[in-house]
Every structure is written in C-alpha cells, then in structure tokens.
Amino acid sequence: MVDPRTGQAVGGFAGFQTLAGVFFRVAARATERIPLLIGTASFTPELGYILPPGSWGIQVPLDLAPDILTRHRRVTPVLPLTITA
C-alpha cells in the first residue's frame, strides 16, 4: 500500500505466505489474471497497526522473466484502493 499523494510505501501484508514463489506463464502481448494478496498492516508508526479507512494506493512489484535466470523487476502504476473499515 502506498500513500497516493507521496508514493511512499505505508503498509502491506505482514505475515507468512504459503504460495510465495509461484510462477505464472503469460505469453508475450497476452493478458492473464493473477491472484493478489492485499494486506493493510501499517509500516508507518504514525498510522498505528493497520492502515485507517480512506483512500490509498496499491502498487505491485512484478518479476518478469523469460527464464528463471533472467529477471526484470517492474512495478505496476499506483492504482486507487479504498479502505472502508
């Protein structure tokens, strides 16, 4: 999670992930849906333990690779996300 005004990372998932390292093969110029775990744990002490309700942004890092040895880290644009409770 990012602050949409500053782009600073302020929160996310803080815990164990059982599916870390799962690869999704997508052909060039193709589109594929992938699962996304959205966490609201705060990484900023001023916000408390969880992100408060409001307008936030989500940005996802992606490792793009033609094979396991050649990786290119990219991030998605900041997309709007509203926390309601």
Beta strands per DSSP E along the chain? 11-12, 41-42, 54-58, 61-67, 70-75, 79-83
Strand-pairing partners, residue 42, are 11
33 within domain boundaries: yes
What's the domain range around 71?
11-15+22-83
Q: Would residue 53 count as lying in a domain?
A: yes
19 three-state secondary structure? coil
* Total-model pTM: 0.73
Output 20 or 59, whichever has higher pLDDT.
59
- Greatest mean pLDDT among 19-28, 38-47, 66-75 lies in 38-47
Residue 23: what pLDDT?
A: 80
> What residues form DSSP beta bridges with 79?
58
Q: Is 73 contained in some domain?
A: yes
Residue 3 has pLDDT above 70, yes or no: yes
Top pLDDT among 74 and 58 is at 58
Residue 63 counted as domain residue: yes
The pLDDT > 70 percentage for the chain reads 91
* Residue 31 lies inside a defined structural domain of this protein: yes
**Domains contained in the chain, number:** 1
Q: What is the mean pLDDT of residues 7-14?
A: 89
Contact 33, 60 (CB under 8 A): no
pLDDT (tens digit per residue) in 42-73: 999 999 999 999 999 999 888 887 666 777 88
In a domain, 2, yes or no: no
Q: Say if CB 9 and CB 2 are below 8 A apart.
A: yes
* Type of residue numbered 40: T
